[in-house]
Copies of this chain bind each other. A is one copy, B any other.
Amino acid sequence: MTRIPRHIGIIPDGNRRWALSQGLNKEDGYDHGISPGMDLYRILKDLGVEELTFYGFTADNTKRPTGQRLAFSRACVKAVEALSGEDASLLVLGNTKSAMFPKELIPYTERQTFGTGGMKINFLVNYSFEWDLGFHRGTLGPRMASADVSRVDLIIRWGGRMRLSGFLPIQSVYSDIYVIRDYWPDFSPQHVHEALAWYEKQDVTLGG
């Protein structure tokens, strides 16, 4: 492959629909989303991707029933803890002033190097674009909370929906977006190869 994206954003959607398709309860899907994330991290690290952002959960997501909220919060805690056992420069980014922010992740809200460092990983937890941009009724600022997250080259979304759902609006302005129909717990390395093969054919103009 000749053109590898420097920064990839991951929207791991479809956990609840996957659970229902397996005859499980909706909240049982999230736990099946952790090992796909680790597989993905290893594939992208081997390919030399420099930065990776996972869309954990948003402030809007926390309006869901408590069982679901606890399940996706727990899954994010487990995922971040698993990543901290790898080589990574890891930051958890989201609104810590809300009770919805998992206490276990507070130590990760300053970027830390684990193992030999290497890949820069951002994990969005209790994130919202309003919080990130200080957005309120048409006013903004003064400073992006996500200032340490760089422009995203490629966004890969699982679960078939063609939308950004509030994912890093500033960093996504020029991202190419690739949608995979399968649900996130059905992750396969083939998905990544498909997405990268597609990305390679996109031109980068940045409006020029």
Tell me whether A135 and B170 are in contact (CB under 8 A).
yes
> How distant is A57 from chain B, measured CB to nearest CB, in Å?
9
List the one stretch of A22-30, A75-83, A171-179 in contact with chain B: A171-179
Indicate the member of A162, A176, A179 with the most B CB atoms within 10 Å. A162
What residues of chain B lie closer than 8 Å to A102, measured between beta carbons?
none
Any B CB within 8 A of the CB of A164: yes
Stretch at the interface among A37-45, A106-114, A142-150, A181-189: A142-150
Q: Chain B contacts of A179 at CB under 8 A?
A: 162
A57-77 vs B: 1/0 string, CB under 8 Å? 011110110000000000000
Does chain B have a CB within 8 A of A134?
A: yes
Closest B residue to A166 using CB positions:
B173
Verify if A115 is at the interface (C-beta below 8 Å from B): no
* Contact, CB under 8 Å: A129 / B163: no
Report how many residues on chain A are interfacial, defined by Cβ distance under 8 Å.
38
- List which A152-208 residues lie within 8 A (CB) of chain B: 161-166, 169-170, 172-179, 202, 206-208
Contact of A174 among B59, B138, B139, B163 (CB under 8 A): B163
Interface string of A5-42 (1 = CB under 8 A from B): 00000000000000000000000000000000000000
7 tightest A-B CB contacts, nearest first: A141-B141, A60-B207, A138-B147, A140-B141, A169-B169, A140-B140, A166-B173
Supply 20 further A-B pairs (C-beta < 8 A) apart from A138-B144, A139-B143, A139-B144.
Answer: A59-B207, A133-B133, A135-B170, A138-B143, A138-B147, A140-B143, A142-B142, A161-B176, A163-B175, A163-B177, A163-B202, A164-B164, A164-B172, A164-B173, A165-B174, A166-B174, A166-B207, A169-B169, A169-B170, A169-B172
List 15 interface pairs A-B (beta carbons < 8 Å), by A numbering: A60-B206, A60-B208, A61-B207, A61-B208, A129-B170, A133-B133, A134-B141, A138-B144, A139-B142, A162-B176, A163-B176, A164-B172, A165-B173, A166-B174, A169-B173
